[in-house]
């Protein structure tokens, strides 16, 4: 018997990730785009679907909603989704502590998978960073390097900060207590007892991240390079298929990849 396609809603459909998600979903025969949303209703169809604003009507036939927008929009989506018992994938970042608590509360009623980076490779890198940091201990100093295209304004990237958090978890320390200096476009930057970051913004770089540990006698490097933005949208679709079988709860890519 042929499996039924998963009805998918993509919010923020005109954004960079929204467009990438549409492209990836169209190529994946396991999904059907049932609706698209934006902050304003549109007059032109995208892939045969007319974008609407977030509403119960827009989500009515959806099995799962994928949201890469801004915190205000994500919370708006969740308030509707929880009433309709819809599953939600959240790729949005920048939530406040209070907003994180609201998401956790809603996850008691519906399945939610939330990740700052949907790349399977980056999530593996995070896991390896924790292991390395724990194994190497305090004899090794650390730092994090990242590079993105010239249009990315924020630095360090959310992923670089996530990797810094991996170092802190490995050392069993509070991340915010060991954040060091944040450099921009430096050719070299120092290791430290605190975690120093260097961000490069140039060209069309999709994403490069590197975690470095040094004892002064040896250096250990863990790195990841992205060549195609589709890896983020494909990771989100993998997460969507996985979440379809889950009970209410707040999940991460770590759960999907079965890391302990």
- Burial (CB < 10 A; 0-12, 13-18, 19+), residue 248, is middle
Q: What residues contact 10, with CB distance under 8 A and at least 6 apart?
A: 18, 21, 22, 25, 33, 35, 36, 37, 65, 66
The residue from 114, 148, 209, 224 that is catalytic is: 148
Q: Residues 52, 14: contact at Cβ < 8 Å?
A: no
Strands of the sheet containing 31-36, edge to edge, are 31-36, 6-10, 64-67, 87-90, 111-114, 249-251
Please give the structure tokens belonging to residue 208.
């490069």
The phi, psi pair for 23, rounded to 5°, reads: -60, -45
Q: Give the count of beta carbons closer than 10 Å to the beta carbon of residue 213.
A: 22
- Catalytic (active site) residue 152: yes
> Out of 5, 109, 134, 152, which one is annotated catalytic?
152
Just list the catalytic residues.
148, 152
């Amino acid at each position: 018997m042929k499996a039924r396609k998963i009805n998918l809603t993509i919010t923020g459909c005109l954004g960079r990730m929204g467009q990438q998600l549409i492209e990836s979903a169209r190529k994946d025969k396991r999904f059907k785009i049932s609706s698209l949303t934006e902050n304003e209703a549109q007059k032109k169809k995208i892939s045969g679907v007319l974008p609407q604003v977030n509403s119960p009507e827009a989500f009515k036939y959806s099995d799962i909603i994928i949201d890469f927008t801004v915190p205000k929009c994500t919370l708006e989506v969740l308030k509707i989704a929880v009433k309709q018992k819809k599953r939600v994938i959240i790729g949005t970042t920048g939530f406040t502590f209070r907003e994180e608590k609201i998401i956790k509360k809603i996850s008691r009623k519906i399945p939610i998978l939330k990740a700052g980076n949907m790349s399977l490779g980056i999530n593996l890198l995070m896991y390896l960073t924790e292991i390395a940091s724990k194994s190497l201990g305090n004899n090794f100093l650390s730092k994090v390097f990242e590079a993105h295209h010239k249009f990315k304004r924020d630095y360090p990237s959310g992923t670089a900060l996530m990797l810094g958090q991996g170092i802190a978890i490995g050392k069993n320390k509070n991340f915010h207590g060991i954040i060091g200096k944040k450099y921009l476009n430096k050719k070299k930057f120092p290791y430290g007892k605190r975690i120093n970051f260097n961000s490069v913004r140039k060209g069309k770089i999709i994403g490069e991240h590197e975690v470095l540990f040094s004892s002064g006698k040896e250096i250990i490097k863990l790195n990841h390079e992205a060549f195609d933005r589709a890896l983020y949208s494909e990771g989100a679709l993998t997460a969507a298929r996985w979440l379809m079988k889950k009970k209410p709860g707040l999940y991460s890519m770590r759960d999907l990849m079965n890391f302990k």
